[in-house]
Amino acid sequence: GAPPDALTVTELTVAYGPVRALRAVSLRVPAGGAVAVLGANGAGKSTLLRAISGVLPFHGGEIRGGRIEADGRDLRGRRADAIVADGIVQVPEGRQIFARMTVAENLRAGALTASRRGVAETYDLVMRLFPVLAERQRQRAGLLSGGEQQMLAIGRALMARPRLLLLDEPSLGLAPIVIDRIADTIRDIRRQDIAILLIEQNAALALDLASHAYVLEVGRVALSGPAAELAATDEVRRRYLGDN
Ligand code: ATP
């Protein structure tokens, strides 16, 4: 049969104290697939990623119901580092690179394996995906442009050899031409058989990159379907793509 989904979220409910941020949210990311989650500020997108990556408790949040499964295994209640070791790696919003370390040091910090050969192989792959980083390996990361820092953050996540990459607003604060380059890279990553869950306020970008998309509105899935179909609906065009 078909391989198990890279991620299956079923009826997930999350709260921060009295504030319910997600209400019975269900979604799936097929193995190697690219899925986008759209939504306005506060719709619950970051909360969804925090619940999957296991960092929700650090933000004062709590899973109140539902399931999160990857490759058929339950992620609920597991530690964030164990989830990374399982191949689910988040690229945080705002990049969070180590500004005083070099590009090469930032990348090596993302590696999990102790095998020098394994690290070297993955490092070479990242250099091929990001020629810009290859040119700047010995530079301090803090001196990179915003777009280069986003590439470094994605490259660092790839060093952990993920099966599923969680991308939190990769276009945030970047100029359109830079966003185009990030988009090209995300397409290259898809070709490496890495599944992607992309959280974006830039709906045009998200619907272009993903094959399926979910629209979150105040903590619920309001719409979902193939990206091309969603992009053609009146509601998505008006509310998220800025058409009149
Ligand atoms: P943004 O794009 O602004 O990050 P979002 O779609 O990612 O928005 P979330 O950040 O997941 O949305 O927030 C969903 C809801 O949960 C909002 O009502 C928000 O105010 C609330 N919330 C988020 N983080 C916390 C927190 N640490 N403590 C309390 N409430 C929170």
Q: Which protein residue's CA is at the shortest distance from atom 18 of ligand 1? A: 42
Per residue in 63-73, pLDDT tens? 999 999 998 88
**Token reading at 36:** 């986008």
Number of Cα atoms under 13 Å in the Cβ half of residue 10:
12
As for ligand 1, residues whose beta carbon falls within 6 Å of it are: 16, 19, 21, 39, 41-47, 59-60
- Find the 137 Cα to ligand 1 centroid distance in Å: 35
Per residue in 175-192, pLDDT tens? 999 999 999 999 999 988
- Find the 81 Cα to ligand 1 centroid distance in Å: 23
Strand partners, 8: 28, 69
- Find the 156 Cα to ligand 1 centroid distance in Å: 25
- Find the 141 Cα to ligand 1 centroid distance in Å: 29
- Find the 149 Cα to ligand 1 centroid distance in Å: 24
Per residue in 204-215, pLDDT tens? 999 999 999 999
Per residue in 62-113, pLDDT tens? 999 999 999 888 999 899 999 999 999 999 876 789 999 999 999 999 998 7
Sorting pLDDT into bands at 50, 70 and 90, what band is 244? Answer: low
Per residue in 115-165, pLDDT tens? 888 899 999 999 999 999 999 999 999 999 999 999 999 999 999 999 999
3-state DSSP: the chain helix, strand, coil percent, rounded to 5? 40, 30, 35
Mean pLDDT of the chain: 93
Report the atom number in ligand 1 closest to the C-alpha of 199: 7
At what angle are helices 116-129 and 176-190 packed, to 10 degrees?
130
Report the atom number in ligand 1 closest to the C-alpha of 201: 2
